[in-house]
Every structure is written in C-alpha cells, then in structure tokens.
Structure 1
C-alpha cells in the first residue's frame, strides 16, 4: 500500500494556488455580471487588466481598460439592462499567473410586459492573469463572447 505524501509539500501549495485562482474567476464572473446589470461600468475597470481585450463574434471590439468599459457601457444603456447569469464554468490553469475559463451565459433583457426575457445565450472564453504587486489580485485579460452557443 502506498502512503500519502506528508502535508505541507509542493502539492499542497499547488492545490491552494489552484483553488485561489478558481475562486477569483468565479468572483470576477459575478462582479462583472452585477456591475453590468447595475450600470456600474467604472467598477468593471477594477476587474480588467490594463491591456484587456474584448472579442465579440470573432472581432476585437475593445483593447485596454478604458476602451473596454466604454464599449460595455454603450452596449448596455439603461433601457436594455437586465440580468447576466453565468454557469457551467470550467477553469483550467495554463501556467503560473495565468488561468483560462470557459463559461456559459444567459442574458435576460427587459421584455414588453416589464418582465425579463431571454435575449442572448452564449459562451465566455476568458483568460485571467494574476496582478502584479502585493495584492496578487487576478484580473480579466481577455474575454471572447461567442453568441448562440
């Protein structure tokens, strides 16, 4: 019978690092959705890397934190705001300081009767990077939005 390695080794450190990255990805997904839904576009900037890239339907629509926030604000005027729901997230570490995640999303928009209706479904393909400095905070470096899948 093979014994388990003693606790506290490099395997533990790798596991903790992986779990912290997964937690950060889920937090960013939720914070992004809530900021969009609430019209707090300046808050999105805190989630983005300086050189974030947004890709929609295969085309780059924004590069850089400010451009990304402006593009999202223009796409979400008050009369079109609803609810973003993110699910089925699969997270893969792709190296030190980089994590890739794929998640399905549903956007519920205001309907004619005042309720919310399904307006868009799709998939986010995201790349996250660990921030520099003491915080080591994870940030969204690239988001590709694939609609209808």
Structure 2
C-alpha cells in the first residue's frame, strides 16, 4: 500500500521519543480532548461510548475543535494549514491498493499450551537447603 501512495514505511525505534513523539502526542490529545469528555457526557445520560457513537461524533469534533486550535509546532490552525498545502498534495491513486493473491496464506499449526510448572517451593525446602533455621534481620 505504501508503494501505491508513494511513501516508505519506517519503523520507529522502541523507547525513542524523537522517532514517534508526534503520533504519541496526538493519541494523548485525542484521548483527553475527545474521548474522555465524550465518555463523561454519555455517562451523564446513562449511555456508553461505542464505535458507532465515536465515529458519528469525531467528524464534527475535528471541525469544531481540533482543526480550529493553534498547533504548537506550526503555530497555525490545522484547517488553515491544510487549505494552503492542498495545492501541493499528490492525488490519491486510482486504486486503493493492490490486491493480495489468495495463495499468500500461511498455515500455522495450533499448538496446545504447555503444562505450567511451579518453581516455587515451601519454606521447609529452602530451610533444608540452607541447613536449618535462619533469622533474617
């Protein structure tokens, strides 16, 4: 799919804030500015947040809240920035992505779980190994 859209995938290094901070920051913003307030409003009416409600509410929230705030890095509203950049964006490909042939299947055998073995013993076993009673100070 990345080939169809003209970009290369690059895996982030684990525990490296510089390589994935922007994505993590957006997830934090989405959770605290959209999901938590929406969930609070719904619970006040004895309703639960589900995927249908979230999908119905996220579009208006993006237009009303997220796209209207001043972005910390660009110092512009995301809606204004997109309006400027849209002229430079490449068109989307005619097809979404190439289909994957059905022959690319992987047979993974089902393996039953191993019997668990406890490595913990009673205190008397440890006392016997230590040669009698010991007082821990």
Q: TM-score under structure 1 normalisation?
A: 0.24
More helix by share: 2
More strand by share: 1
Report the structure number with the largest CA radius of gyration.
2
